[in-house]
Each structure stands twice: as structure tokens, then as C-alpha cells.
Chains A and B, each alone.
Chain A
Amino acid sequence: MTDHQHHVVPVKVYIAILIALLVGTAATVWAARVDLGAMNIAVALAIAIAKATLVVLFFMHLKYSEKLTWVFAAAGVFWLAVLIGITFSDYITRF
């Protein structure tokens, strides 16, 4: 068994992620002020997903975690997609 459960992430990685998250926040606010029509929500969600991914991979150490942890994290994403997807398949087909 390897020791990578105890992988200590260097502080400068945390600082880089912090800066990226703050830049992402500024980008979200800035993008909201530009009229992109239907794309506004897509851009906002894309930035939010990117920020969440950074938090999950580095702050939550998923990048350095066991494969089994990855399976459960992926399951969360999958079932959320099912929840949203199937709910919307109902609403967008109502006329």
C-alpha cells in the first residue's frame, strides 16, 4: 500500500488554487454584466463548475485520493445529472 493517503499538498499549490478561485469569481461577475443572451447562464455555470472542480481536486484532495473515493465522487455527479436531466426531460417536452 502506498503512502499517498498522506500526500501533503505544497502550500504554493493551495495559494495558486486560491488565486484561481478569486479570478474565477471576478470573471463570473464581469461576464454577468455582458449581454450574452442565452449564453449567460452557460458561461456562469461553466465558471462555477471549473471553480468547484478546483476545490474538489485540490482542496478536497480528490486528485491524491484512492480510486474508490473517485468512484463515489463520480457517482455524486452522475446521480445529480440524472436528477436534473430526467426532471428537465419532462418540463421541456411539455407544450
Chain B
Amino acid sequence: MHSGHAAGGGRPPALAHHFDDLEQQKEASTLGMWIFLVTEVMFFGGMFTGYAVYRALYHEAFMAASDHLDLKLGGINTVVLILSSFTMAMAVHAAQTSKRKAIINWLVLTIILGSVFLGIKYVEYGDKFHHHLVPGPHFEFAGAHAQHAQLFFSFYFAMTGFHALHMVIGIGLLLWIIALAARGRFSAEYYNPVENMGLYWHFVDIIWIFLFPLLYLVGHHK
């Protein structure tokens, strides 16, 4: 039988009217976020597929273009995001163990790491702009495959751009979750928003886990 985990016998305050108990509510909540993430897989999946087709068709050009990406910065960003997934997981852990201050601290660390990532992307984008590698009328590329190299950079900006947009939205959501945590809304009994925030954040990390080798490591950076 479902139990409501109610403190005191009545319906717990965190239990919405249309659910039988907190267990069921959590299952529905988590499943809902997973379903949304599946739509996101298809969203990014389309771009990955397009990238894969053109990389197969114009491999030389994509290799030459990829050499213009800063492998060090890309690598640092990968480490930064992996660390941010760790801090996010710790925030959920803190919520599960009803440690209010720890929730906030870990979420703040996650925001800091996410901001470092965006700062580095800003530097990278600025560098691309400076070197005329932004697709459009000012694009310049030395070598035989200028048009195909421009295609690489179209994918680079579209994919890392949408990823960065997801990071910005994620940071906004993190700020909101921190505000809720500060008001004492989360505990072992109810922490669904923190869990779902984690699912979203880990998903964005996974996208980068694929973006990094596929965009930055096309050729053999010697």
C-alpha cells in the first residue's frame, strides 16, 4: 500500500491534491522531467546528425576548421562541467538528507562552475570573431576548403550556442531552486525540484561530453 510519509497523520503540505501520496508524486515528477529530456535528445540529435553527415562528406575541411578551436579551453570546459555535475549531484544528496545549508552551498558551486564555463565560451567566441571565423559576410578561411570550413563553424556556433543557451537557462533555474531551498522547502520528504534540476543539469553536461570530442578533436592536435 502506498504510504504518505505524512508527519502527523494528515496530507503532507508538499503533496499536490491530484496525487495519492508523495511516492506517486515523485515518480510522476521524475518521469515528466525524463520525458522532457528525451525531447531534448531529439532536438540536439538532429544537429548531431546533420554535423555527422557533413563531417563525413567534407572530412578534410572539417579537420582543418577544427584545428582553429582551442583544445585547451575546450578541455578545461569539459572538466568544469563534469565538476559541476558532481556538485549538482551533491546538492541533490544534501536535499535527500535534509541539509538546507549544504543544498544551497552545492547549488552555488554549481552556478559558479557553470558561469566559468560560459566565461570561457565567451572568450572562445570572441576569438573566433576576431579571426573572422564567424559564418557570414566576414568569414575568411585560408586554404582550399573555405566553404566547407564555414559549414563546420555554422555547426560549431549552432550546437555550442544552443548548449550555452541551455546553460544560461540552467543557471536561471538554479537561482530559483536556491531561493526555494533558502525558504526551507526541501527535505528528505520532498525534494523533487532539486532532483529534476539535477536531471536537467546532467543532461546539459552529457551534451557537452559529446560536443567536445566531436568538435574539438576531429584532427590530431599535435
Interface residues of A (CB under 8 A from B): 1, 5-6, 8-9, 11, 14-15, 17-18, 21-22, 25, 28-29, 32-35, 40, 44-45, 47-48, 51-52, 55-56, 58-61, 65-66, 68-69, 72-73, 75-77, 79-80, 83-84, 87-88, 91
Contacts and interface: CB of A to CB of B under 8 A. Distances in A.
Contacts of A84: 45, 48-49, 52
A25 B179 CA distance: 33
User: Is chain A's binding surface mostly helix, strand, loop or mixed?
Assistant: helix
A44 B45 contact: no
B69 interface: no
A61 B213 CA distance: 25
Contacts of B195: 61
Interface of B: 1-3, 23, 26-27, 30-31, 34-35, 37-38, 41-42, 45-46, 48-49, 52-53, 56-57, 71, 75, 78-79, 82-83, 85-86, 88-90, 93, 96-97, 188, 195, 198-199, 202-203, 205-206, 209-210, 212-214, 217, 220-222
B44 to A, nearest CB: 9
Given A1-B2, A28-B217, A48-B210, A76 B82 contact: no
A86 B202 CA distance: 28
Contacts of B93: 8-9, 11, 14
A80 B209 contact: no
A32 B202 contact: no
A38 to B, nearest CB: 10
A82 B81 CA distance: 29
Given A32-B217, A60-B199, A1 B88 contact: no
Nearest to B74: A29
Contact of B220 (A11, A32, A52): A32
B147 to A, nearest CB: 19
Contacts of B30: 5, 65-66, 69
B213 A11 contact: no
A83 B214 CA distance: 18
Contacts of A6: 96, 188
A83 B38 contact: no
B34 A55 contact: no
A83 B49 contact: yes
10 contacts: A8-B93, A11-B90, A14-B90, A18-B85, A22-B82, A60-B199, A65-B30, A68-B31, A79-B38, A91-B53
